[in-house]
Amino acid sequence: EIVGTETTRFSTAVYVYLACAFRYGSDDLDVIGLSFRRDIWLRRVQVYPPTGGSEAKSPMTESLLKKVGEQGHTFSFQMPPDLPCSVSLQPGPNDSGKACGVDFEIKAYIANAPDNPDEVITKKDTCRLMIRKIQFAPANNKAGAKAELSKQFMMSDKPVHLEASLEKEVYYHGDPITVKVKINNETNKTYMLICKMFSDVVAELPVTLMSPKPAGEFCIL
Tell whether 159 and 88 lie within a shared domain. no
Return the pLDDT at 29. Answer: 62
Which range of residues forms the domain containing residue 220?
A: 137-221
Nearest to 173 by CA among 84, 80, 86, 79: 86
- Whether 111 contacts 13, CB under 8 Å: yes
Q: What CATH number has the domain bearing residue 65?
A: 2.60.40.840
37-90 pLDDT, tens digit per residue, is 788 888 888 777 777 666 677 788 788 888 877 777 777 788 888 888 888 877
1 touches 57 (CB < 8 A): yes
Q: Is residue 39 part of a domain?
A: yes
Q: Are residues 107 and 148 both part of a single domain?
A: no
The reply to whether 114 and 141 lie within a common domain is no
Asked which of 73-77, 103-107, 115-119, 186-190 is least confident by mean pLDDT, the reply is: 115-119
Distance CA 215, CA 196 (A): 36
pLDDT at residue 23, as a whole number: 81
Please indicate, yes or no, if residue 168 is contained in any of the structural domains: yes
Is pLDDT at 10 greater than 70 in this prediction? no
Q: Kindly state the helix (H) or strand (E) to which residue 60 belongs, with its residue range.
A: helix 59-68
Q: Say yes or no to pLDDT of 3 above 60.
A: no
Residues 99 and 38 in one domain: yes
Cα–chain center distance at 196: 33
Residue 125 shares a structural domain with residue 153: no
Residues 160, 102 within the same domain: no
Say how far apart CA 150 and CA 160 lie, in whole Å. 6
Q: Tell me, yes or no, whether 63 and 109 share the same domain.
A: yes
Indicate whether 1 belongs to any domain: no
The residue type found at 73 is H
Which of 131, 161, 188 is the last residue in one of the domains? 131
CA dihedral 41, 44, 45, 47 (to 10 degrees): 130
Residues 26 and 119 in one domain: yes
Spatial contact of 72 and 3, defined as CB atoms under 8 Å apart: yes
Split into its structural domains, the chain has a count of: 2
Lowest mean pLDDT among 129-138, 153-162, 200-209: 200-209
